[in-house]
Amino acid sequence: MRLILLRHGETLWNKEHRLQGHQNSPLSERGILQAQAIKPIIDKLAPQYVISSDLGRALQTAKIIGYPNAITDINLRELAMGEWEGRKKEEIISENPELYQAWRDGEYTPKGAETWRDFCQRISTALFNWAKRNDGDTLAIVHSGVVRAACESLVSLSTKHLLPVTQGTLTIFEITPSNPIKLEAYNLGGFIPELNVAD
């Protein structure tokens, strides 16, 4: 079977470079276009099962690609970022660039946040549970952190060695009972340029 992870489209907070975590922001115009652009590829992949994070940006993406009734799973939420949620990346980096990089590398946890190790455990458990439950290809509409955690926990690909996960792209794993899990695709999808709106 294939486990197909789709990162939601760009949100208004993504445009502002704000960390979202468990907070939410609706898709931007570009994010809607990203979801529309990936739909034909998903249609060709024809997943038998569709699940989604319960956060609004994932559910909005699910609706655009044709799955308004996707089964939601709270365990597929983004990494909880504690006191950093809602803050701009540039602000955090200007205060302490080493601390921000340590967080990106999974080696630092902001106050009130989830540790990277706990997050990876949550994501791998949730994904394995869905893989065991379904015998066909499964599409999960999720978040950047979920994709990175899946790469690390399923195929031992460290987040330090991954390019950022582009909004509205697919990451695909092949899961078979007798073979190791394989990464089939990463950041698969069309490119939607940033939209420049005149003032």
- The tens digit of pLDDT for each residue in 89-139 reads 999 999 999 999 999 999 999 999 999 999 999 999 999 999 888 889 999
User: What does the pLDDT read at residue 198?
Assistant: 46
Provide the sign of the torsion angle of the four alpha carbons 108, 114, 115, 121, taken in this order: negative
Domain positions in the chain are 2-188
User: Would you say 113 and 86 are in contact if contact means Cβ atoms under 8 Å apart?
Assistant: no
Q: Which CATH class is domain 2-188?
A: alpha beta
User: What does the pLDDT read at residue 1?
Assistant: 92
Instruction: Please state the φ and ψ torsions of residue 6, each to the nearest 5 degrees.
Output: -115, 120
Rounded to whole angstroms, how far apart are CA atoms 189 and 195? 18
**What residues act catalytically?**
8, 78
CA distances to 77, 110, 163 from 104, in Å: 17, 11, 12
- Return all residues near 23 (Cβ < 8 A) that are at least 6 apart: 13, 85, 86
User: Would you say 82 and 113 are in contact if contact means Cβ atoms under 8 Å apart?
Assistant: yes
Label residues 89-114 b or e (16+ Cβ within 10 Å = b): eeebeeeeeeebeebeebebbbeebb
User: What does the pLDDT read at residue 195?
Assistant: 65
**Global confidence as pTM:** 0.94
Residue 4: CB atoms within 10 A of its CB come to 23
- Burial zone of 78 (CB within 10 Å; 0-12 exposed, 13-18 middle, 19+ buried): buried
CA distances to 21, 61, 80, 103, 128 from 110, in Å: 12, 28, 10, 8, 28
User: For residue 15, what pLDDT band results from cuts at 50, 70 and 90?
Assistant: very high
Residue 162: CB atoms within 10 A of its CB come to 15
Percent of the chain with pLDDT strictly greater than 90: 85
